[in-house]
Structure 1
Amino acid sequence: MSDKRQRARVQGSWAKPGAKPASSAGRQPTPGSWNAGPRTYEFHQPADPVRVIPVEKAIEEAGDYEISKGPTGVSRLRLLPGFLPLEEADWMFATLLAELPWSQKTNYGTMGEAYDEPRLTCWYGELPYTYSHSTMQANPQWHPVLITLRQAIEQETSHTFNSLLCNLYRDGKDSIAWHSDDEASLGPHPSIASLSLGDTRVFSLRKKPPLEEKGDYTYAEKLRIPLSHGTLLIMEGCTQEDWQHQVAKEYHDRGPRINLTFRTIYPEPHPSRMDNNGELRQ
């Protein structure tokens, strides 16, 4: 037995080592192999630049704000919180809430569909006012409180106004959708003074996109302005031409708010809105 074990050990010592794998040195890589040699990477500028959605900015402090400047001109806002003293604002709010002839306006969509505007309104002035494909008839008998407010606002803004749209937001469910006050009857670059009474609501603005964006507001500049009791906001310059605004629904408890928007209405489309053929410019 010992001889067999000794022969086994001797035979094992004769065993040839297994063949080593051939060296990869000098081998040509096969097409498409992962280790086809060093590569160089070259940066290519994307055809379309990366765009970032702008952060909504807030305006809360009193002051004059130039919100945009472009081919059409300058868009400006002027914010005056506390334009009315608190006790005076309280009394005016209660009086107008109780005594103005509030009613709900029926508007019409682009396909002719009728819908009730989600707020109450009334219109003062010598001329009717048309928006959203329906017309509000003029009420020439201004309430004495409205006359007092118009005089004070005209003195503050150095603008004159012959008309007034009164809006009553009964609670947080009342609202007004995105729009511009750019009707032909308002003339070019209208100045509008907006006085808020009652609960605070957020007034939002967004800049109109260029024509090539085809109405896509994804990357539009956006502003938010909380309008509190007694605050006056003036929109001037190209604000109506270059921006839209809204008062969105707020799904939590909100009390009533009155918004008075003083403006100037012209009996016919303003001459500067007409082209050489007498047609209204779009």
Structure 2
Amino acid sequence: MSDKRQRARVQGSWAKPLPKHSGTTGAIPNNNPSNNANAASGSWGCGPQKTTKTFEFHQPTKPTREVPPEKVIEQAGDYEISHGPSGVSRLRLLPGFLPPEEADWMFSKLLAELPWSQKSNYRQGEAYQEPRLTCWYGELPYTYARSTMAANTQWHPLLATLRETVSQASGLSFNSLLCNLYRDGHDSIGWHSDDEASLGTKPTIASISLGDTRVFSLRKQPPPEEIGDYTYVERIRVPLNHGTLLLMEGATQDDWQHQVAKEYHDRGPRINLTFRTIYPEPEGHRPGTKMRFTAKNL
């Protein structure tokens, strides 16, 4: 028996100890390159994986916003379009304000006899021509887009008659008129508000449309936190037909912008007469800029 133990001790001394391995207990190292490649591929999801964190769904902190649908105003009536920070904004729409035959005659006469010209404006020091023709009537000059239209006190007799007709319908008096001629669908006017200092506070603008129908669009001014983003503001669409009268009243020029966009299909000429009241601008005030008036300024 002692001889067997001795032989076992001797034989055990010949055996090499197994190498230490840092991997999973019981794993046997393999120096075969092809096997190592298989092992490497298992590390990309084929082998057992340890999941450190489970997926959790979190409800969005901000609700999903939707762009409000555009409203359309076509029927005659008075519309309170908003109750904003500056007050109530109102539109008064009167389709057929001028009878068709009378409107036809007026359109032809004004198209032929008014002194239409193309005004040059300035943006960031660069001059550009308006994509429409204009003329101005009033006791005072009118400045917008850093360009001034000289006073034209000799009113065309038809325009003087229309001013009186609009004054009777609205209960307001007007001392000035900006005439716009849109020659076709490519003529337009971009987003803006009629809020120059010379128009006073909460001006009423009375607009008569003659000729082809064009869409008059309005969009609400965004709140301060939107930083000038108009994506989610309210929008209104008003098709203005031949002989229509539209009045913008209250805070419309403070809380809304309006435009007549280009229309890339057949459109005939359209004349737009916008009656307004102009006040002398305070001494030292740069013409055409915005300023809130008080009773003293008026």
- Hey, what's the Cα distance between the residues in 2 that align with 1:220 and 1:67? 13
**Equivalent residue for 1:231, pick from 232, 244, 249:** 244
Amino acid at match of 1:165: L
Paired-residue identity, %: 73
The answer to whether the aligner puts 1:75 opposite 2:89 as a matched pair is: yes
The answer to whether the aligner puts 1:143 opposite 2:162 as a matched pair is: no
Is 1:161–1:264's contact at 8 Å kept on the other side of the alignment? yes
Bigger radius of gyration among the two: 2
Measured at CA, do residues 222 and 116 of structure 1 come closer, stay the same or move farther in structure 2, by a change above 3 Å?
same
Paired residue total: 242
Is 1:184–1:269's contact at 8 Å kept on the other side of the alignment? no
The answer to whether the aligner puts 1:249 opposite 2:262 as a matched pair is: yes
- Hey, what's the Cα distance between the residues in 1 that align with 2:138 and 2:127? 25
1:154 maps to 167
Q: Secondary structure at the match of 1:79?
A: strand
Measured at CA, do residues 30 and 175 of structure 1 come closer, stay the same or move farther in structure 2, by a change above 3 Å?
closer
Q: Secondary structure at the match of 1:92?
A: helix
Measured at CA, do residues 233 and 274 of structure 1 come closer, stay the same or move farther in structure 2, by a change above 3 Å?
closer
1:112-123 superposed matches below 5 A: 112-123=125-136
Deviation track 1:83-128 (CA, whole Å, cap 9, x = no partner) reads 000110000000000000000000001x111000000000000000
Gapped runs of 5+ residues in structure 2? 1-47, 284-290
The answer to whether the aligner puts 1:183 opposite 2:161 as a matched pair is: no
Deviation track 1:59-84 (CA, whole Å, cap 9, x = no partner) reads 10000000000221000000000000
Is 1:106–1:115's contact at 8 Å kept on the other side of the alignment? yes
- Hey, what's the Cα distance between the residues in 2 that align with 1:234 and 1:129? 20
Is 2:200–2:293's contact at 8 Å kept on the other side of the alignment? no
Q: Secondary structure at the match of 1:254?
A: coil
Is 2:197–2:293's contact at 8 Å kept on the other side of the alignment? no
Gapped runs of 5+ residues in structure 1? 1-28
Q: What is the aligned-residue RMSD (CA, Å)?
A: 2.2
Amino acid at match of 2:141: P
The answer to whether the aligner puts 1:32 opposite 2:45 as a matched pair is: no
Shift, 1:55, TM fit: 1.1
Shift, 1:30, TM fit: 8.3
Measured at CA, do residues 269 and 47 of structure 1 come closer, stay the same or move farther in structure 2, by a change above 3 Å?
farther
**Equivalent residue for 1:60, pick from 74, 98, 102:** 74
**Equivalent residue for 1:201, pick from 192, 201, 214:** 214
Measured at CA, do residues 57 and 274 of structure 1 come closer, stay the same or move farther in structure 2, by a change above 3 Å?
closer
- Hey, what's the Cα distance between the residues in 1 that align with 2:257 and 2:292? 20
Amino acid at match of 2:233: A
Shift, 1:54, TM fit: 1.1
Is 1:187–1:269's contact at 8 Å kept on the other side of the alignment? no
- Hey, what's the Cα distance between the residues in 1 that align with 2:101 and 2:250? 33
Q: Secondary structure at the match of 1:127?
A: coil
**Equivalent residue for 2:223, pick from 199, 210, 219:** 210
Is 2:201–2:293's contact at 8 Å kept on the other side of the alignment? no
Q: Secondary structure at the match of 2:190?
A: strand
2:115 maps to 101
- Hey, what's the Cα distance between the residues in 2 that align with 1:190 and 1:77? 12
Amino acid at match of 1:219: Y
Q: TM-score, normalised by structure 2?
A: 0.77
Measured at CA, do residues 141 and 31 of structure 1 come closer, stay the same or move farther in structure 2, by a change above 3 Å?
same
1:130 maps to 143
Shift, 1:204, TM fit: 0.4
The list of structure 1 runs, each at least 4 consecutive aligned residues, that deviate by more than 4 angstroms after superposition, is: none
Is 1:56–1:224's contact at 8 Å kept on the other side of the alignment? yes
1:174 maps to 187
Is 1:198–1:228's contact at 8 Å kept on the other side of the alignment? yes
Measured at CA, do residues 167 and 30 of structure 1 come closer, stay the same or move farther in structure 2, by a change above 3 Å?
closer
